[in-house]
Amino acid sequence: MSPMRGEVNSFTNAFAVRVFPANPYDKKIKVEVHVYDQDFQPVNARISPNVFQLAGQASRPVLVVVPFDGATDRKVRICTESIPFPNEQTQIRAQICGKFFGHHKS
């Protein structure tokens, strides 16, 4: 996933980050994108798309919109998780997370 870090200034009640999950394998994979706070508690963010399939050696953009929920600064982790297909020999879930900081400007 790229970028792995980011800092965003926003004048609204939310900030947006565009990340690019990638599939380094030759076979297609199913991908889920999740957002967590710095303690890995789920964050109610809008993720578009949040579940999709990626062809081998491919990547695609995903837009993540995170609310400030009244805070002036927000630290989140955006995580890309590969989900094994049923009936595959290996059932390994991989998770890659990046750190992102949002700053609310008045």
Q: How far apart are CA 19 and CA 62, in angstroms?
A: 5
Does any domain span residue 17?
Answer: yes
What's residue 22's pLDDT? 93
Q: How far apart are CA 22 and CA 25, in angstroms?
A: 9
Does any domain span residue 95?
Answer: yes
Quote the domain boundaries for residue 21: 5-100
Does any domain span residue 88?
Answer: yes
Closest CA to 52 of 34, 35, 31: 31
> Domain with 66 in it: what CATH number?
2.60.40.10
Stretch 77-102: mean pLDDT, rounded?
A: 85
What is the torsional sign of CA 5, 10, 15, 20?
A: negative
> What is the total count of domains within the chain?
1
Residues 18-75: tens digit of each pLDDT: 999 999 888 888 999 999 998 999 999 999 999 999 999 999 999 999 999 999 999 9
Does any domain span residue 105?
Answer: no
User: pTM of the prediction?
Assistant: 0.90
Does any domain span residue 106?
Answer: no
What's residue 94's pLDDT? 86
Q: How far apart are CA 39 and CA 51, in angstroms?
A: 23
What's residue 88's pLDDT? 66
* Amino acid identity at 86: P
How does residue 92 score in pLDDT terms, banded at 50, 70 and 90? Answer: confident
Q: Over 70: is that where the pLDDT of 104 sits? A: yes
Does any domain span residue 87?
Answer: yes
Burial tier of 83 (Cβ tally within 10 Å: 0-12, 13-18, 19+): middle
